[in-house]
Amino acid sequence: MKQEEVNFAKSDAFNLTMIPSAFARKLRTCVIFQLFRFLVINIKMLVVVSKSH
Amino acid sequence: MARLIVMGGGVSGHTAATFAKKWLGSEHEVVVVTPNSQWNWIPSNIWVGVGQMTKEDVVFPLAPVYEKAGIDYRQAKAVSIHPEGKADSDKPYITIEYTGQGKAGQTEEITYDYLINATGPKLNFDATPGLGDGNGQLGEHTVSVCTADHAMHANLELKQIFEKAKTQKQKILVGTGHGMCTCQGAAFEYIFNIEHEAKKAGVRDNLEIKWISNESFLGDFGMGGLHMKVGGYVVSSKLFAESLFAERDVPWLIGAHVNKVEAGKVHYELLDGTTGEEEFDFAMLIPPFAGVGLKAYDKAGEDITGKLFAPNGFMKVDADYSGKPYEEWKASDWPRTYQNPDYKNIFAAGIAFAPPHLISKPMTSVNGTPINPTPPRTGMPAGIIGKAVAHSVCDLIKEGENAHLHEASMAEMGAACVASAGKGVFDGTAAAMTVYPVVPDFEKYPGTGRDTDYTFGEIGLAGHWIKHILHHMFIYKAKLNPGWTLIPE
């Protein structure tokens, strides 16, 4: 069984949701990808901040 | 010379006082009344609670900052408001009781021309038997991360649990300690930081970590949840919250009103009316919030607290308090100027203003117990409201009573929020989110109530970096260091 699929079997509630794949989890802490996301998130937040003042 | 008194020195009060002093200059007087000697960046308390920061990292002394700014700082708690003055004077005033500055216990009257109530919440631990100690403080059975001192204590208790977990199973319970709590976000951050630290300590396998909250669905956060565009879909925050809990092996108990806490055990009632118990070795339960208990009196000394304040102790402002049913709620129910309707020189900002109603759909158990999150008014909205109110007061002082009042409706402003799920420069993660607007407007945005172009969320290391940067940025700003006004609220 793939590691990311183990928790599906632990409860009915877990079984009915989505769990990220190993690839998706890796991207979360991949420094190069996250540097890009850092820029994107900051731009999005600045837009919301500017609309709120 | 006019005098503005700001009651409270938290995010909203500090923002209001510092901007007001900057705009008013030395021609007018700004007084801050707060019982605390230190300013606390509360969002980082969760890192103190897992030993990743110290108390000194999240607080700094207020006195030197206010001295630098030219603000008259009184370390005292506000006791009462007298908006009509007293028998021999029409000048409105407040009474305060000192908690420091060598005058602890002494009382004093301070007159004002304008008053901003930014007193924040009372942590109402005693609303749940056993959660408090009966004297309004945190009880002995659970811990809290609401203050820096609470978080330090939580960390000490947590370390003991981690030590025990090296040889035996331990159970951790985190969430809300009453059916009418808000601030689920802090509990959310704390539970995932505990989980992250447990993995690092090599004790995760011996820890059962469980969530208990008053939300009717995971991801409600007191805002009725939010919808985001992801992978070509518009999806509810419920799906993403459940996904994170399942991924990290954290089961949940939701729609729960914790009605009693004992040593190692909580008693709860669920929305379906069933009751139950949950045992724990370590529990962090957020208390419900209430107003700080300010009283108000008219010129004759008659109690008019009910005129200025809602029954929950928060101050009435320009909101619709008619108590209409959920189906008739509108974005326009929410306040715009935060001016008290009866006394035009009084404003309330941040948590201190009384919301017109919930944001989440109201829920009641089949036994009639209300179980729903109350509206969050912390962080970015608190800062923006504090600044808008300060702007209004400054204009009233400089231009007269017909000056335009500045507006900051939570139904027209967005909020950026970063919820930590574990601290670490290269292995940390956080959910970075924005919502626009905070209070959904179903007339303007039918369907989700929000603009999905500006409402998003994602979890990753970038979010952690942002939360860490915000920690330093907002403490820098609050210390009024050079360029502080350039950092947005």
What's the pLDDT tens digit per position in B144-192? Answer: 999 999 999 999 999 999 999 999 999 999 999 999 999 899 999 999 9
Q: What band does B361 get if pLDDT is binned at 50, 70 and 90?
A: very high
Any A CB within 8 A of B487 CB: no
The predicted pLDDT at position B350 comes to: 96
Residue A39's domain comprises 3-52
| CB contact (8 A) between residue B243 and residue A7 | no
* Pairwise CB contact (< 8 Å): A51 & B246: no
| Tokens of residue B187, six digits | 């509990």
Interchain CB distance below 8 Å, A13 and B249: no
CA distance to partner chain A, nearest, from residue B306 (Å): 32
Q: Taking residues B330-341, report their average pLDDT.
A: 98
ipTM above 0.95, yes or no: yes
What is the number of structural domains in chain A? 1
Tell me how many domains chain B contains: 1
Q: Which domain does B23 fall in, by range?
A: 3-123+290-399
Residue B484, sorted as left (phi over 0), alpha (psi -120 to 50) or beta, turns out to be alpha
d(CA B54, CA B44): 10
Q: What is the pLDDT of residues B411-435, one digit of tens each?
A: 999 999 999 999 999 999 999 999 9
Within-domain flag for B464: no
pLDDT digits (tens, 9 = 90+) for A1-53: 687 889 999 999 999 999 999 999 999 999 999 999 999 999 999 999 998 87
User: What is the C-alpha separation between B297 and B312, in angstroms, rounded?
Assistant: 18
- Per residue in B274-293, pLDDT tens? 999 999 999 999 999 999 99
Please name the residue of chain A whose CA is at the shortest distance from the CA of residue B384.
A53
B110-119, B160-169, B222-231, B327-336: segment of lowest average pLDDT: B222-231
Kindly report the average pLDDT of chain B as a whole number. 97
- Cα B258 from Cα B252, distance rounded (Å): 14
Residue B121 has φ and ψ, to the nearest 5°, of -100, 160
Pairing of strands B227-230, B256-262: unpaired
Residue B296 tokens read as: 């108000």
Residue B24 falls inside a structural domain: yes
pLDDT at residue number B238: 96
User: The domain spanning residue B113 has which CATH number?
Assistant: 3.50.50.100
Give the model confidence (pLDDT) of B465-487 as tens digits: 999 999 999 999 999 999 999 99
SS3 B223: coil
Residue B447 has pLDDT above 90, yes or no: yes
pLDDT tens-digit series, residues B37-95: 999 999 999 999 999 999 999 999 999 999 999 999 999 999 999 999 999 999 999 99
N- to C-terminal Cα separation, chain B: 28
Residues whose CB is less than 8 angstroms from the CB of residue A7 and which lie 6 or more positions away in sequence, other chains included = A14, A19, B246, B247, B249
Q: What pLDDT is stored for residue B230 in this prediction?
A: 84
Of B85, B114, B115, which Cα lies nearest the Cα of B2? B114
Chain B residue closest in CA terms to A42 = B466
Residue B345 lies in a domain: yes
Give the pLDDT confidence score for residue A4 in this predicted structure: 81
